[in-house]
Structure 1
Amino acid sequence: MKSRRKEDSKANVRVVEIFATHKNMWQVEERRLLQHIDAVNEKMASLRSKIEEMEREKAESKRIAEELEEIIGFMSRRVGCEFEEEEDQFGGCGSREFYGGDDG
């Protein structure tokens, strides 16, 4: 009976060692996965900030483009008026005087 208890005790120690080894491996894997999750979360935060920055830049570019279109529109109306006044005054590009009269 004493021999049997000794064998059972050795078997129990071996089982405990096996479970301890498995638990240690699971904990190592858990730490590795948690680190991976943290790295992915940091990457996501970085990408979100880049997206926000790009959206701000897009809005700024759109605002600048609208301002430039407005300026171009204003300048084209202004130049168009000046050109019409000059055309009326000097005969303009489409007049016969510009091309040398009736000869062509």
Structure 2
Amino acid sequence: LWERVVELNPRDEDAKSHLSRVRFAARAYGDHDASDPAARADALFAAGDAQAAFDVLLELLAATTDAEERDALRLRLLDLFRVAGSSPEVSKARTRLAMLLM
């Protein structure tokens, strides 16, 4: 339902935040492949280590050239940024993400 709300009103930051929380919860607390580094990042984030989670995803993004994978990692990071809220760790990771996407 949150996807539909965002689709109808793309500027609704509250809806985007709720959607990010739902997607994160589904990834972090659902069945996932323990060998998947992106799933490991979600587990780190769920355990309270946001910086390590950001670092894992940013390293994955730096290492790949596949456009689809880069976009999926970018979206995953944006979800975590929204869930984490405003913090120095988020600001630092956002800066690094911007540099990697250039």
Please say whether Structure 1 and Structure 2 have the same fold, judged by a TM-score greater than 0.5: no
Question: Greater RCO between the two (CA within 8 Å, min separation 6)?
Answer: 2
| TM-score, scaled relative to structure 2 | 0.22
Give the TM-score of the pair, scaled to structure 1.
0.21
